[in-house]
């Protein structure tokens, strides 16, 4: 993965504390998959559940057009996975896409225990990938990254290179991992029968839940983020309207200034023409007087 460039402004949403439940009493897990199209979200969901529950094909255009959920028993516990449409899906309107992705919270009610931000190891980490955590925070609030783990797919492409080296050599990728509390995991989606990689992921999710005081991301957190997003959108619209009115006023003043300038130039031109006419008339009068004087002397 290669370094990206532009840093985008982070949205900050203050939310209520997580709903606490002792980890030992949690027999089920709700997991939401997030990421752009073509990174292997659906394949990762199938790997977690140990069976083909989500449609998965190898192409960059999103196969998942709406949120879907699937359930299975994994290592003796109930695991539910919500697959979401890919970020930046050009076949969906931006607002429709965000609304559909946000619906994952309600499908995983009372709330997901983990958001898995899925990235491909064989993809360059560009500005597009850098936008994903900001979009996730915009949708779900700043609390969401406390419940997030970076999930790298296509782990077979690592060969002998440790994943830590890949993360360390890319500043932007390392920053993203740091935003998620340093949590990451690697999947080889070709090895669906390799259950150890799934058990290790579930263990990391358990550890994250303990770090969050035994809680999960809640619907209330989403409502707080949604309300903040609406307020921010309203503020943006007001600012745009203010700028539009200021531009209208600026154009109006420029028009008045231009009209005054034209009127002044026209007045000066008319004065000049009038002065020229008067001068010409004076010259002609002088000529006639001089001519009359010469005649009188003759």
The reported pLDDT for the residue numbered 203 is: 95
170 plus 290 within the same structural domain = no
253 and 135 in a common domain:
no
pLDDT digits (tens, 9 = 90+) for 93-107: 878 888 888 888 878
Q: How far is CA 169 from CA 152, 162, 288, in A?
A: 16, 11, 98
The total domain count for the chain is 2
**Is the residue at 1 inside a domain?**
no
Calculate mean pLDDT across residues 53-70.
71
242, part of any domain: yes
The reply to whether 216 and 233 lie within a common domain is no
User: Do 60 and 89 have their domain in common?
Assistant: yes
So what's the pLDDT on residue 242?
A: 86
| Contact between residue 187 and residue 117 where contact means Cβ atoms under 8 Å apart | no
Sequence length of the chain is: 298
- Flag whether pLDDT at 249 surpasses 70: yes
How many other CB atoms are found less than 10 A from the CB of residue 236?
Answer: 10
- Same-domain check for residues 247 and 163: no
- Domain residues for the domain of 263 are 228-297
Q: What pLDDT score does 182 carry?
A: 95
pTM for the whole structure: 0.67
């Amino acid at each position: 993965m290669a370094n990206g460039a532009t840093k985008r402004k982070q949205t900050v949403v203050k939310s209520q504390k997580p709903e606490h439940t002792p980890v030992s009493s949690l027999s089920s897990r709700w997991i939401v998959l997030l990421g752009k199209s073509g990174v292997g979200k659906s394949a990762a969901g199938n790997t977690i559940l140990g069976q083909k529950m989500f449609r998965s094909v190898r192409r960059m255009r999103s196969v998942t057009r709406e949120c879907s959920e699937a359930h299975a028993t994994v290592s003796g516990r109930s695991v539910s996975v919500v697959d979401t449409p890919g970020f930046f899906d050009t076949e969906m309107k931006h607002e429709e896409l965000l609304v559909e992705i946000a619906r994952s919270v309600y499908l995983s009610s009372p709330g997901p225990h983990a958001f898995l931000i899925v990235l491909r190891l064989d993809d360059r980490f560009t500005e597009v990938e850098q936008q994903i955590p900001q979009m996730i925070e915009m949708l779900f609030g700043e609390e969401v990254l406390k419940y997030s783990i970076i999930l790298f797919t296509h782990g077979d492409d690592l060969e002998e290179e440790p994943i830590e080296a890949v993360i360390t050599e890319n500043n932007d990728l390392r920053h993203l991992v740091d935003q998620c509390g340093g949590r990451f995991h690697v999947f080889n989606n070709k090895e669906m029968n390799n259950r150890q990689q799934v058990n290790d992921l579930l263990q990391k999710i358990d550890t994250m839940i303990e770090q969050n005081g035994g809680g999960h991301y809640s619907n209330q957190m989403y409502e707080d983020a949604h309300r903040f997003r609406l307020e921010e959108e309203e503020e943006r619209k007001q600012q745009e309207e203010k700028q539009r009115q200021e531009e209208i006023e600026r154009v109006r003043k420029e028009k008045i200034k231009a009209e005054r300038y034209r009127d002044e130039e026209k007045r000066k031109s008319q004065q000049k023409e009038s002065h020229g006419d008067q001068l010409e008339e004076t010259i002609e009068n002088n000529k006639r007087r001089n001519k009359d004087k010469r005649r009188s002397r003759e």
